[in-house]
Amino acid sequence: MKKSNKFLFLFLFVMLFTLVLAACSDNSDDTSTNSNNSNSEDNGKKSEATEKVKLTIGSWRTEDVAKYEKVIALFNETNPDIEVEFNPTKNTEYNTVLNTALQAGEGPDIFHLRPYAAGLKLAGAGFVEPITDLKGLDQFSDDYLAASRGEDGKQYGVPLNISSTQFFYNKKIFADQGLEVPTTWDEFIEVNEKLLAADITPIAMGTKESWLLSLTHGIVGPGVVDGNAFADKLVTGEKDFTDPAFVESIEVMNDLKKYFPANSEGLGMEDIRTLFAMEQAAMFPLGSWEIPVVSELNSDLDFGFFPMPSKTGNQTVTTWVDGSFAINANSKNKEAAKTFLEFLTTKEFGELFVEEFKMISALPGITSNDELLSELSKTVETNSTPYYWVINFVSGDPTTKSVLETELQGMYLGEVTPAEVAQKVQENAEISFEPFK
């Protein structure tokens, strides 16, 4: 009996031990499984948290790649989960490349929007996302916002910079020739005559590239038609391009040719910029964006600017919003794109923009350490006149602006008279400019 009890006890012990081992094995498997599941879930959450949204930016500013890298780096300091790529296209190809992509339902998430009618055509076609309620827009002036506001009253772009056109001048040449900065029209002509008599090219200007001619008229024209006085009446239809004052402004453009380089018909943008930068011409009528470019060509060049003096004594620089940033209506990352556009409305961006790009920010209250740019910014605030060729006359096919350019080229070649230029411009404007219809 004792022997049987021993066997029974041994049997029960073995069975109990087996059950304990099985239970431990099951618990171990559960623990392992739970541990693996937990790690998998944590890895999934971690992967999801660190996954970046990718944004692409389209632009015509191929020369600004390195500068936008700094802009993106500043943006990523507070938005590390948004990856931004600046991918510009050559300026002469940009419109075609962008339009083709947008029509195909593609294109960059964010893109540089041409100012006024040229860019708003895209908004009217449904390619641009409205951003009327975007945080930070309320600090821009209404005039600046108008450059990217559609006929529907919706806002489509964040204004980036203000461009101005004026005369730059070589301070050394002026000092050597005993010349003062002109403050009246007669003084301006006198400066040109004295430079010509000293065998110095007065004005670095060429007529090979047509856009330079509308730009130059935008500077010189207000000197003849008294700045805003004519422009204000022109855009309301009270005046038109057959007005004697406008015809005179074309005649003056023709008269100034004798102050251009001898072979001006064959000179383009790079040629005239080089002439001024290398101190082979005393004055250079062009845009504020040329300040860093000219300085890079000749870091020793000491140059300033002066507003265009008018025959009645007023002095003006010609201004406009030179592009805004907009969101592609077909972008799959609109919220991230809006975050980037909100960043463009901040003081931090404005200060970096002025410092790196050497341009006038559309944001109010942004100053520059660059003396020339700072003085120009102040003049823009007090002595500006609208560049109506870009603001009001870029509709139609061809545009009124392009007709002016073509006709001015013909005038410089002796093919048409100033009066005929004005008449051709008026005829075109009557087709597309509402106040003239």
pLDDT score of 24: 45
Of 199, 203, 234, which is closest to residue 219 (Cα–Cα)? 203
Taking the model in full, what pTM does it have? 0.82
Question: pLDDT of 122-158, one tens digit each?
Answer: 999 999 999 999 999 999 999 999 999 999 999 999 9
Mean pLDDT of the chain: 90
CB 317 within 8 A of CB 380: yes
Residue 295 backbone class (left: φ over 0; alpha: ψ -120 to 50; beta: rest) = alpha
Burial of 265 (0-12, 13-18, 19+ CB in 10 A): middle
pLDDT score of 38: 45
Question: pLDDT of 264-290, one tens digit each?
Answer: 999 999 999 999 999 999 999 999 999
Question: pLDDT of 349-363, one tens digit each?
Answer: 999 999 999 999 999
pLDDT score of 87: 97
Question: pLDDT of 67-114, one tens digit each?
Answer: 999 999 999 999 999 999 999 999 889 999 999 999 999 999 999 999
**Three-class secondary structure assignment of the chain:** CHHHHHHHHHHHHHHHHHHHHHHHHHHHHHHHHHHHHHHHHHHHHHHHHHCCEEEEEECCCHHHHHHHHHHHHHHHHHCCCEEEEECCCCHHHHHHHHHHHHHCCCCCCEEEECCCHHHHHHHHCCCECCCCCCCCHHHCCHHHHHHHECCCCCECCEECEEEEEEEEEEHHHHHHCCCCCCCCHHHHHHHHHHHHHCCCEEECCCCCCCHHHHHHHHHHHHHHHCCHHHHHHHCCCCCCCCCHHHHHHHHHHHHHHHHCCCCHHHCCHHHHHHHHHCCCEEEEEEECCHHHHHHHHCCCCCEEEECEECCCCCEEEEEEECCEEEEECCCCCHHHHHHHHHHCCCHHHHHHHHHHHCCEECCCCCCCCCHHHHHHHHHHHHHEEECHHHHCCCCCCCCHHHHHHHHHHHHHCCCCCHHHHHHHHHHHHHHHCHHHC
Q: Is 7 a residue whose pLDDT tops 90?
A: no
Q: Is 33 a residue whose pLDDT tops 50?
A: no
Question: pLDDT of 381-406, one tens digit each?
Answer: 899 999 999 999 998 899 999 999 99
**Structural domains for the chain:** 53-160+322-345 (3.40.190.10), 164-320+385-436 (3.40.190.10)
- Please state, in angstroms and as integers, the Cα–Cα distance from residue 48 to each residue in 51, 83, 105, 268, 327, following that order: 5, 15, 28, 53, 25
Residue 153 backbone class (left: φ over 0; alpha: ψ -120 to 50; beta: rest) = left
pLDDT score of 50: 60
**10 Å Cβ neighbour count for 199?**
6
Q: Are strands 324-327 and 158-159 parallel, antiparallel or unpaired?
A: antiparallel
pLDDT score of 118: 85
Residue scoring higher pLDDT (163 or 51): 163
pLDDT score of 154: 97
- The pLDDT-based confidence of 31 (bands split at 50, 70, 90) is very low
- Please state, in angstroms and as integers, the Cα–Cα distance from residue 325 to each residue in 33, 55, 159, 173, 181, following that order: 52, 13, 7, 40, 37
Question: pLDDT of 188-212, one tens digit each?
Answer: 999 999 999 999 999 999 999 999 9
Q: Is 46 a residue whose pLDDT tops 60?
A: no
pLDDT score of 45: 46
Residue scoring higher pLDDT (432 or 32): 432
Q: Is 187 a residue whose pLDDT tops 60?
A: yes
The share of the chain scoring above pLDDT 70, in percent, equals: 89
Q: What mean pLDDT comes out for the span 159-172?
A: 97
For 417, the token pair is: 């008279």
For 212, the token pair is: 């330079």
Indicate if the alpha-carbon torsion angle 219, 220, 224, 230 is positive or negative. Answer: negative
- Please state, in angstroms and as integers, the Cα–Cα distance from residue 246 to each residue in 26, 392, 428, following that order: 96, 16, 15
Weakest-pLDDT range from 271-280, 313-322, 418-427: 313-322
Residue scoring higher pLDDT (173 or 226): 173
Q: What is the dihedral of CA 343, 346, 352, 353, to 10 degrees?
A: 80
- The pLDDT-based confidence of 365 (bands split at 50, 70, 90) is confident
Q: Is 243 a residue whose pLDDT tops 70?
A: yes
